[in-house]
Structure 1
Amino acid sequence: MTVRAAWLLAGPPDGQTRTDTRLAPLGTFVPEGELTTRDGVIAGGAPLMATGAGAMQVQVGIGRALVQGTNAQGAYPVAVTVPETLTVGDGNAQYPRIDSIVLRIRDGLFDATGETAVAVELVEGKPEASPTEPLLPPSSLRLWSITVPAGASAGTGGINWQSALADRRRYTASYGGIIPRGWGTSFTGAYDGQFRDVGGVLERWDATAAKWTTYRPPRDVETISTGATAASGYGVTAFAARRVGGVCSFTVEVTRTGTKIDVPAGGNITDQNVAALPAGWRPAYDVEGAASDGYGDGGVRISTAGNVALRTWVPGGSIQSGRNIRISACYVL
C-alpha cells in the first residue's frame, strides 16, 4: 500500500496500520471552524510534485497532506510513500478540458461509496470552448490541474506537460504555525492572530477588521536619562536619549561653568569637548549635531568614543558662562 491514511476503519485490505499512523501527519492542524481543519499539503521538500511521465501519463511524487471530510467525518491525515502514475484520458475531438489530480478519501461509514480507501485520482473535467476546473467529489483535496488540448492522445504527441500542469497545492500547518504560501491565498483566517506567509510577507489575521494585515513586529524602544558626563568647564543639566530599531536620537543640555569663550570672526572653534555620552549610546561613526543657547547656535561633532565637541558658533559671538547650551543629534548606533 503506497497511499496511506490514518483514522480509516481498521481491517484488510486498506485499514489503518501502525505504519500508517507513523507516516501520516497526526496532531492538531490549523482550524477552519469549531470541528473542521484547513486541509492541504504538508510543506517540506517538494511534496506531491507532479511531472510528466509519458505522452498521456503524469506522476505524482511522495508527500503528506490532510484531507477534510464533512464536519462529522473530521480530517484524514494522508501519506503517499511511493510516486503514483496516472493515465490521462484522450482529449475531446472538438474542445479542450481541464482535469484535476486529487487526493481522495472513500469512507463507507460516511459516504455512499461503500468503500474504505484513499487514493491519488484524476477527476475529469468537461470539454468546453473555455473549460473550467471540475467540481470535486466529497473528501477530496485538489493538488494539480491539467489542461488537456482537443484531440490530445499518445498518437498525436500527447500533452505538453511544461505548459499543461497548473499547481493547485495549498498548504496547511500545525495549530499556531505560519501557513506557507501556496495556491489560493484569498482565504479568510480562522482566528484572531493567525499568521500566513504571502510571497515573503508575513500577514496576521485581524478578526475585528476581518482582514489580513501585514505584520510589523513591535520595534524595540529604549530610553535613557542618565549617564552623560560633563567635560571640564561644563556641567550637564539634562540628558535624554531614545533608540528605535538601532537609530538613536539624543538631547543633552550643558552649562558653561568656566569663563566666557569668544568666538573668532570665522565662527570656527577648536574642537572643545562639552560632554560624553554613556557606553552603548555612541554612534557607529563620527556624526554632526546641532547646538543652541537661545542667542546663538552652532555645530558639534559626536565621535565614536561618545565625545560631544563644539566646532562652530555664531561668528564673532561668544559662549557665555552660566548659559545653557542645548545639543541634539540623530544617528545609527
Structure 2
Amino acid sequence: MNLRSSWVAETGQTREDTRLTQTGVTTMANPVQVRSGILPGSYDGQYRLSGFWTFGSAAMSATVSEGRAVIQGDIAQGVYPVTLPASEVVTFAPGNAQYNRVDLLVLRIYDNLYDSSERTEATVEIIQGVPEQDPKAPLVPARCLPLYEVLVPAGVSAGNGGIPWDSSLKDLRTPVVSLGGILPVEGPVQPGAYPGQYQDAGGALQRWDGGAWVSYPSALGGIIPSSASTTPASYTGQYRDTVGGQLQRWNGSAWVPAVTGPYYADNSDYGDTTSTTYTSTLVARATNPLTLTFVAPPSKAVLVTFGARMKSADTHYGFMALRLTQGTTVVNDLNDEYAAIVASDTTVSVSAMRRLSGLTPGLSYTFTAFFKINTNSAGLKAGFDNTFIRVDPQA
C-alpha cells in the first residue's frame, strides 16, 4: 500500500514516512508537495525575511545568517526541514582571468537513497558557474534551495579587493508559512494552491480565486486604497480611491468618477422676452439657449437648482423653467408649478430647486432653460439676468 503514516507502526517508520507526513511549516504547492522556502521573521520585527540573509564579510567570503527553511524533494520523497542555528562563512573561488561568472549560494540536501552521493546531510554550499562572456547561473540540482546569485567578476581575488558585494549579490530567497497562513510575498509571485488562500503582496492582501490573485478589497467589495490604485478591476461596480483623492467606479470597461459633478452653467448677459409661451431665446442676449449637460449617476437621481435676477410687473408674472431631454427624447417637460417666478418691476434674485429621479446611470442628459411672461396685453417684458443652472448628483 502506498498510503504513508507516521507514529503508527510499532517498527519500520522510515525517514521518508516522516517527511511525507509532516504538516507543519508548509505552503502547499499541490495536494502532496509544498513550496521550498524560508520561514519569515526578524529579530526586531522590521523585516519580512531575515533567515539566511547574506553579506560580504571579507574579500572573497560571505557570511550566511541563521535561519530555518524547508526543501521539497520529488513527490514521493517528502519535504526536508533544515535549520542553521548560527551564521556560517562561505568562501568563493577567485575570478576567471578573462570572463565573469555567476555562482549560486544554496541550501542543499544530500540523500544517498536518491542521489547515490554516499552522503546524508544538509549543507550551505556554493555551486560554481561557468565563466563566459554572458555568464548565467548554473542549474539548480534536485533537493536544493537557491539563496543568492553571486557575480564573480573576472580577475578578482583576495589580493586585489575581492568581490564587490554591494553590487554582486542577487537575492533569490522566498518565504513559506504554515498551512493556512498568510504568505508574505518576496521575489516571484507563484500561483495559489487552492481557492481561499491568502498572500500579502506589496502591501495589498490578496486571495487566490482559483485562477488569479485577487486583491482583498476586490474580493470583499471594499474600496481599493490609493496605495493599490493600479490594481486591475475585478467586477462592474467596484470602487477605488485614486492617488488624487477621487472616488471612482469600474463601469465594466473603464474607471469613471463615482460621484460626478456638480455641473454648472450660467449666462451673465441680460435678456428679455414678450412671449407668453415658453421660449429658450431671450432678446438682446448674445448667446442662446442656456443649456447644461450631465451624466446620470449610479443613484439615478440629481438635484437641480436654477434661477436668475428677474423682473416683470407687479401684475404680470415672469417664468423661468427647465426642460430635461435625453438625446431627442423629452424626459421632463416644462411645468409652471416647478418654475422660478417673479411679479415685480424691481429686479429680484429668484431660484428654484427640484430633485429628479429614475434616470439611467451613465447616460447623458441635458437641461435647457425656457422663459415667458404670463400675459402681455400692454406689451410688457419679463427680464432675466445672471441666469444659471446647477446639477448635483445624489448619492
Inter-partner Cα distance in structure 2 for 1:84 and 1:195:
34
Q: Which residue of 1 aligns with 2:200?
A: 197
Question: Does structure 1 residue 212 correspond to structure 2 residue 199?
Answer: no
Corresponding residue to 2:37 among 29, 37, 40: 40
Q: Which residue of 2 aligns with 1:120?
A: 124
Once the two structures are aligned, what percentage of the paired residues are identical?
A: 37
Query: Cα distance, 1:215 vs. partner?
Result: 2.8
Are the aligned partners of 1:195 and 1:202 in contact in 2 as well (CA < 8 Å)?
A: yes
Q: Which residue of 2 aligns with 1:129?
A: 133
Corresponding residue to 1:110 among 107, 110, 114: 114
Deviations 1:83-102 (A, max 9, x none): 01001001111111111111
Corresponding residue to 1:90 among 71, 91, 94: 94
Q: Point out the structure with max Rg over C-alpha.
A: 2
Are the aligned partners of 1:26 and 1:77 in contact in 2 as well (CA < 8 Å)?
A: no
Corresponding residue to 2:142 among 138, 143, 149: 138
Inter-partner Cα distance in structure 2 for 1:172 and 1:98:
26
TM-score of the two chains, using structure 2 as the length reference: 0.50
Count the aligned residue pairs.
Answer: 227
Query: Cα distance, 1:218 vs. partner?
Result: 2.0
RMSD over aligned Cα, in angstroms? Answer: 3.8
1:90–1:329 Cα change, 3 Å: same
1:189–1:153 Cα change, 3 Å: same
Stretches of structure 2 that go unaligned for 5 or more consecutive residues are: 1-5, 7-14, 43-49, 224-238, 241-246, 248-258, 260-298, 300-308, 311-334, 341-348, 355-392
How do 1:164-175 and structure 2 match up within 5 A? 164-175=168-179
Q: Which residue of 2 aligns with 1:303?
A: none
Q: Which residue of 2 aligns with 1:30?
A: 27
1:126–1:193 Cα change, 3 Å: same
Deviations 1:125-156 (A, max 9, x none): 11111111111221000011100001111112
**3-state SS in 1 of match to 2:137:** coil
Query: Cα distance, 1:317 vs. partner?
Result: 7.6
Deviations 1:160-206 (A, max 9, x none): 10111110101111112222121222x22222222222222223223
1:176–1:294 Cα change, 3 Å: farther
1:205–1:71 Cα change, 3 Å: same
Are the aligned partners of 1:102 and 1:120 in contact in 2 as well (CA < 8 Å)?
A: yes
Deviations 1:212-241 (A, max 9, x none): 3333242479xxxxxxxxxxxxxxxxxxxx
Q: As a proportion of its length, which structure holds more strand?
A: 1
Q: Which residue of 2 aligns with 1:156?
A: 160
Deviations 1:242-271 (A, max 9, x none): xx99x9x9x9xxxxxxxxxxxxx99xxxxx
Inter-partner Cα distance in structure 1 for 2:40 and 2:171:
14
Stretches of structure 1 that go unaligned for 5 or more consecutive residues are: 1-6, 8-15, 222-243, 252-264, 267-292, 299-313, 320-327
Are the aligned partners of 1:55 and 1:157 in contact in 2 as well (CA < 8 Å)?
A: yes
